[in-house]
Amino acid sequence: MAKDALMDFDEALELFEPVLGFEVHVELNTATKMFSAAPNPANEANHGAEPNTLVAPVDMGLPGALPVVNQEAIRSSISLGLALGCSIAPSSRFARKNYFYPDLGKNYQISQYDEPIAFEGSVDVELADGTIVTIPIERAHMEEDAGKLTHMGGSTGRIQGAEYSLVDYNRAGVPLVEIVTKPIFGAEHSAPDLAKAYVATIRDIVRGLGISEAKLERGNLRCDANVSLRPRGQEKLGTRTETKNVNSMRSVERAVRYEIQRQAAILAKGGTITQETRHWHEDTGRTSPGRPKSDADDYRYFPEPDLLPVVPAPELIEELRAALPEPPAARRRRLKAEWSFTDLEFQDVANGGLLDAVAETVAAGASPATARKWWTGEITRVANTQERDAADLVSPANVAALQKLVDAGTLTDKLARQVLEGVIAGEGTPQEVVDSRGLAVVSDDGALIAAIDTALTAQPDVLAKIRDGKVQAAGAVIGAVMKAMRGQADAARVRELVLERAAAL
């Protein structure tokens, strides 16, 4: 793949205004699929199933099979539509999107076309610098996912040069909600950051609703990013590209930045942008064009004759509206005030995706300051070295319990870090780790005094110096005592006692 010429980002922004648009697919975590009663692999309970073991006749397009709509998927979709500030259509219907592809069992996707379940909304997104941006939502519609293709032979996993492909229909029929924004203007230098913040907000919303596992690395959330540039002062929109299936927040940010730089370089040389779909390559950090398909734009949509209109009762909509959680941006504002964090401290938590973790730790009894310290500090450090999500390492309840042990003087900070390590390693709750590893601070002064007396007696010259008022000499004794206690003593207390004993002996 030829290397694209890129323009410096700031220079690109001087010459052009970026216009963004996003299509985010959310996999719902219902127990069963959108149109069949087969188990849904996007539900945690069925994750990692063997290929082709979660398949009902309609999922693989068997002759004679018919779809039936999952009631829970309808509820989830309405909730999501409401959380996006959308109107819920009094009547919506399914349509067939016809195209041939081996992962599509029926060779049509049941989707919604001219009558989506939710339309015309907006969602507030908070950028890294704390600015709130309102993203206009065009529509949210229900559809089914396709199966999974694995390309074999040729270069690993790539479609290009593959000799053959293998198809697994487990994912076929997974319920999806596709959220489509209107064009987003005015993002300017923040465009890459906005892309990331938008996806994070959608993730927070669906997590808050409990309607998706919301794990980007599993494809529970998939973002297609549309980017176009127009010269400063021009009214008419530029030609856009659609970068498909960008599956991490960092990648969304990078892909948008890349497209801005790539398109700017072309436009600045008088070139034109091809309207096309592009693929994001995580490894190289670049996008490449997809092969133009002759039938890509002729999906021959028509109303799905096997399914009937969805006409939600107003009472149902109100019931779901009443059950909506607080919108993410409002929640952020509230938490920031409640926790009395500085802007910097709050952004540290928010940008690390640790808002829920800190909130739940506080709810479990820790102070906001200590909760923040644990999550943005030690836990994040371990997460980075293990290349895992901080939130997956340890439960907020255990973090709160750990802090409780520190507050009670049972653990020093240093010991607490060792206990955390044990908890992360799956050795149990903090108390269980303290017990099994024998890590509690020795708070029995008797044992300490005995050790101190021994140490002082063994080093009479040190004892003499202390008595002479050379207090810093106590360090040698403290070190010996801590060593004797195998570190399980509170150094400050040891110091106090050393000075006391030196005077008394």
Partner 1 sequence: MSDLTRLTAAELAAKLSASEVSSVEATQAHLDRIAAVDGDVHAFLHVSDHALDVARDIDRRRAAGEQLHELAGVPLAVKDVLVTTDMPSTSGSKILEGYMSPYDATVVARSRAAGLVPLGKTNMDEFAMGSSTEFSAYGPTRNPWDLDRIPGGSGGGSAAAVAAFEAPLALGSDTGGSIRQPAHVTGTVGVKPTYGGVSRYGAIALASSLDQVGPVTRTVLDAGLLHDVIGGHDANDSTSLSDAWPSFAAAAREGATGQVLQGLKVGVVRELDGSGFQSGVTASFRAALSAMEAQGAEIVEISAPHFEYGVAAYYLILPAEASSNLAKFDSVRFGMRVNPQGAATVENVMAATRDAGFGPEVKRRIILGTYALSAGYYDAYYGSAQKVRTLIQQDFEAAFGQVDVIATPSAPTTAFRIGEKIDDPLQMYLNDITTIPANLAGVPGISIPSGLAEEDGLPVGIQFLAPAREDARLYRVGAALEALLVDQWGGPLLDRAPSLTNGASL
Partner 2 sequence: MRHLGVLARIQLSDEEVQSLTGQLDAIVDNIAKVSEVATPDVVATSHPIPLENVFRPDVVQQQLTREQVLQNAPDQADGRFRVTAILGEEQ
Q: Which residues of this chain interact with partner 1, rule CB under 8 A?
A: 57, 60-69, 96, 98, 100, 102, 105-108, 165, 167, 169, 297-298, 300-302, 305-308
55 binds, among partner 1, Zn ion, partner 2, none (CB under 5 to 8 A by kind): partner 2
Least distance between partner 2 and beta carbon 371 (Å):
36
Check: CB of residue 485 under 8 Å from CB of residue 451. yes
Least distance between partner 1 and beta carbon 303 (Å):
8
Amino acid found at 278:
R
| 3-state class (DSSP) for residue 96 | strand
DSSP, res 50:
P
Q: Is 52 in the site for partner 2 (CB under 8 A)?
A: yes
Least distance between partner 1 and beta carbon 406 (Å):
57
61 binds, among partner 1, Mg ion, Zn ion, none (CB under 5 to 8 A by kind): partner 1
- Of 22-30, 267-275, 353-361, 402-410, the segment contacting Mg ion by CB under 5 A is 22-30
96 binds, among partner 2, Mg ion, partner 1, none (CB under 5 to 8 A by kind): partner 1
| Residue 21 backbone phi and psi in degrees, to 5 | -160, 145
Listed residue (202, 227, 228) closest to 280, CA to CA? 227
Check: CB of residue 349 under 8 Å from CB of residue 379. no
Helix axes 474-484, 460-467, angle to 10 degrees: 130
Check: CB of residue 138 under 8 Å from CB of residue 116. no
Residue 319, both tokens: 């019931």
- Of 194-202, 206-214, 299-307, 328-336, the segment contacting partner 2 by CB under 8 A is 299-307
Least distance between Zn ion and beta carbon 145 (Å):
9
Q: Is 23 in the site for Mg ion (CB under 5 A)?
A: yes
User: 144 or 259, CB closer to Zn ion?
Assistant: 144
Binding flags for Zn ion, 159-178, as an x/- string (CB under 5 A): -------------------x
Which residue lies nearest Mg ion, judged by its C-beta? 23
Check: CB of residue 478 under 8 Å from CB of residue 491. yes
Listed residue (223, 222, 119) closest to 174, CA to CA? 222
- Of 26-34, 122-130, 415-423, 459-467, the segment contacting partner 2 by CB under 8 A is 26-34
Residue 330 CA to residue 334 CA, distance in Å, equals: 6
Helix axes 396-407, 413-424, angle to 10 degrees: 160
Residue 187 CA to residue 127 CA, distance in Å, equals: 10
Residue 351 CA to residue 200 CA, distance in Å, equals: 9
Burial string for 372-390 (b: 16+ CB within 10 Å, else e) reads bbbbbebbbebbeeeeeeb
Q: Is 309 in the site for partner 2 (CB under 8 A)?
A: yes
**Length of the chain, please?**
505
63 binds, among Mg ion, Zn ion, partner 1, none (CB under 5 to 8 A by kind): partner 1
Total residues contacting Zn ion (rule CB under 5 A)? Answer: 1
**Residue choice 24, 26, 73, 350 for contact with partner 2 (CB under 8 A):** 73
| 156 contact partners, CB below 8 Å, separation of at least 6 | none
User: 189 or 293, CB closer to partner 1?
Assistant: 293
Q: Is 242 in the site for Mg ion (CB under 5 A)?
A: no
Q: Is 490 in the site for Zn ion (CB under 5 A)?
A: no
Residue 455 CA to residue 176 CA, distance in Å, equals: 70
Residue 57 CA to residue 68 CA, distance in Å, equals: 12
23 binds, among partner 2, Mg ion, partner 1, none (CB under 5 to 8 A by kind): Mg ion
41 binds, among partner 2, Zn ion, partner 1, none (CB under 5 to 8 A by kind): none
| Residue 182 backbone phi and psi in degrees, to 5 | -80, 170
388 binds, among partner 1, Zn ion, Mg ion, none (CB under 5 to 8 A by kind): none
**Residue choice 87, 91, 275, 384 for contact with partner 2 (CB under 8 A):** 91
- Bridge partners of 277? 242
Residue 278 CA to residue 241 CA, distance in Å, equals: 7
Least distance between partner 1 and beta carbon 166 (Å):
11
Q: Is 27 in the site for Zn ion (CB under 5 A)?
A: no
Q: Is 259 in the site for Zn ion (CB under 5 A)?
A: no
Least distance between partner 1 and beta carbon 58 (Å):
9
User: 276 or 496, CB closer to partner 2?
Assistant: 276
| 368 contact partners, CB below 8 Å, separation of at least 6 | 338, 339, 340, 341, 358, 362
User: 116 or 238, CB closer to Zn ion?
Assistant: 116
Q: Which residues bind partner 2 (CB under 8 A)?
A: 30-32, 36-39, 50-57, 60, 68-74, 91, 93, 100-104, 107, 146, 149-151, 159, 162-169, 244-245, 277, 279, 290-291, 293-295, 298, 300, 303, 305, 307-312
Q: Which residues bind Zn ion (CB under 5 A)?
A: 178
